[in-house]
């Protein structure tokens, strides 16, 4: 079996994909510039090249030398408000860097590509449940930077018969490896569950609840939180699909049910054994009211079966990671 290249494999989600690939018996090589990642998140015997995916000479040599058959492309910049303040960083490190990587794949004959996309491509969707047919309409440069990469992949796959891809649109990724081998280290992360756990451990004074007047049962925004280990498994399913000759796909990744900000905060209270300090704050600009993934296609087309679909488990794994 070919070796899999995991770009951004020293990051939060990529490191869990490395663990899932190894559990499936696959050979893995990581390419990461360590701008936000950490070498310690991946097993010591996984080869890691420190470098930028946009460095075409080095990446080309890597693809050839390691006989890479599939690229899983996690590397990128991920902070939505930062993308509003510095859009060119996102068009460089997400869109342009992906263009370079895709071109290097075409030049070296790598025919399978699995891409980390995002629910941010939907912007503020008109319906509660989001299917892959829901119109895309990003509201941030981050979302656009990812949608442009999806478009490149579709165009390249149409032009090159030997190239197939799967774009996985992640909803809200959370939790940590149940065995404590990896978790989120991303600096300046803005994610609710990470911030709530940091607050529960006294590293932050208070958890802001951004907006309590939304048209939802408790007034706070609703999201579909997917355990990072289940998401990692989805990548192994995607790899198997492409290796069996399956066609290119765009797939939502979530569980299909949503929790409000307050419900998440209460789950952190339960995991921590005491209530964390919370304060109602104004709405955060650009937040959609409700984002829940219809993940029927992921289940039906890839045979994905979640193993940790439980908010209390997600939160307890995230809290255990923060306590480490
Ligand atoms: N975390 C989420 O909730 C979420 C949601 C939707 C999509 N995504 C996408 O998933 C992917 C992984 O996100 P994450 O949460 O693990 O973030 P992360 O910051 O933990 O990981 C990104 C990794 O990529 C590396 N990297 C960044 N730019 C690089 C470059 N040019 N060359 C080589 N390495 C580079 C970083 O050092 C880091 O290890 C990203 O593409 C992100 O857009 C994440
Ligand atoms: O301190 C906080 C942090 C967040 N929230 C709220 O919690 C919800 C979830 O926020 P967050 O965890 O920041 O996730 P999203 O803004 O939904 O975005 C995430 O999910 C997207 C996919 O849906 C990804 O593309 C993004 O990278 C990722 O940050 C939102 O209503 C926030 O307003 C708070 O109330 N207080």
pLDDT value of position 289: 92
Structural domain including 51 reads: 3-174+224-253
| Spatial contact of 6 and 28, defined as CB atoms under 8 Å apart | yes
Based on the domain organization, do 229 and 215 belong to the same domain? no
- Structural domain contains residue 292: yes
d(CA 261, CA 78): 20
CATH number at residue 215: 3.90.25.10
Same domain, 145 and 25: yes
Q: Quote the CA–CA distance of 75 and 218 in Å, as a whole number.
A: 36
- Asked if residue 183 belongs to a domain, the reply is no
If one counts the domains in the chain, the total is 2
Atom of ligand 2 nearest to the CA of 261: 7
- Specify the DSSP element, H or E, that contains 146: helix 141-159
- Residue 260, pLDDT score: 98
Q: What pLDDT does 1 receive? A: 80
Catalytic residue among 12, 90, 142, 255: 142
Q: Provide the pLDDT for residue 190.
A: 87
Q: Are residues 69 and 146 in the same domain?
A: yes
Query: Residue 241: its pLDDT value, please?
Result: 98
Q: Read off the tokens for 286.
A: 């650009």
Q: Are residues 135 and 164 in the same domain?
A: yes
| Index of the ligand 1 atom closest to the CA of residue 53 | 32
CATH of the domain at 17: 3.40.50.720
Q: Are residues 260 and 305 in the same domain?
A: yes
**Claim to verify: residue 115 and residue 241 sit in the same structural domain:** yes
In a domain, 91, yes or no: yes
Tens digit of pLDDT per residue, the chain (324 long)? 899 999 999 999 999 999 999 999 999 999 999 999 999 999 999 999 999 999 999 999 999 999 999 999 999 999 988 999 999 999 999 999 999 999 999 999 999 999 999 999 999 999 989 999 999 999 999 999 999 999 999 999 999 999 999 999 999 999 999 999 999 998 788 899 999 999 999 999 999 999 999 999 999 999 999 999 999 999 999 999 999 999 999 999 999 999 999 999 999 999 999 999 999 999 998 788 999 999 999 999 999 999 999 999 999 999 999 998
Note whether 287 and 210 are within 8 A (CB).
yes
Q: Does residue 181 form part of some domain?
A: no
273 and 318 housed in the same domain: yes
- Compute, in angstroms, the gap from residue 294 CA to the centroid of ligand 2: 18
Contact 209, 220 (CB under 8 A): yes
User: Do 164 and 260 have their domain in common?
Assistant: no
* Residue 155 resides in a domain: yes
């Amino acid at each position: 079996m070919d070796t899999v290249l995991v770009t951004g494999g020293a990051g939060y989600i990529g490191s869990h994909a490395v663990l899932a690939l190894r559990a499936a018996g696959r050979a893995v090589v990581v390419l990461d510039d360590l701008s936000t990642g950490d070498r310690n998140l991946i097993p010591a015997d996984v080869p890691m090249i420190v470098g930028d995916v946009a460095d075409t000479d080095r990446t080309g040599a890597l693809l050839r030398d390691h006989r890479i058959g599939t690229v899983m492309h996690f590397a990128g910049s991920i902070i939505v408000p930062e993308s509003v303040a510095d859009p060119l960083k996102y068009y460089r490190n997400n869109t342009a860097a992906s263009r370079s990587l895709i071109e290097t794949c075409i030049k070296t004959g790598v025919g399978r590509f699995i891409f980390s996309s995002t629910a941010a491509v939907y912007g503020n969707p008109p319906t509660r449940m989001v299917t892959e047919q829901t119109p895309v309409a990003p509201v941030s440069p981050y979302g656009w930077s990812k949608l442009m990469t999806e478009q490149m992949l579709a165009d390249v796959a149409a032009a090159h018969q030997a190239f197939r891809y799967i774009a996985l649109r992640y909803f809200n990724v959370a939790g940590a490896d149940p065995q404590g081998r990896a978790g989120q280290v991303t600096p300046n992360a803005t994610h609710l569950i990470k911030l709530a756990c940091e607050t529960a451990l006294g590293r932050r004074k208070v958890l802001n609840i951004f907006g309590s007047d939304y048209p939802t049962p408790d007034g706070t925004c609703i999201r579909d939180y997917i355990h990072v280990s289940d998401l990692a498994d989805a990548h192994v399913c995607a790899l198997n699909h492409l290796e069996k000759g399956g066609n290119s796909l765009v797939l939502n990744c979530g569980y299909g049910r949503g929790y409000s900000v307050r419900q998440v905060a209460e789950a952190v209270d339960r995991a921590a054994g005491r209530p964390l300090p919370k304060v109602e704050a104004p709405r955060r600009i650009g937040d959609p009211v409700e984002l829940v993934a219809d993940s029927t296609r992921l289940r039906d087309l890839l045979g994905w079966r979640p193993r940790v679909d439980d908010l209390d488990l997600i939160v307890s794994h995230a809290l255990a990671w923060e306590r480490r």
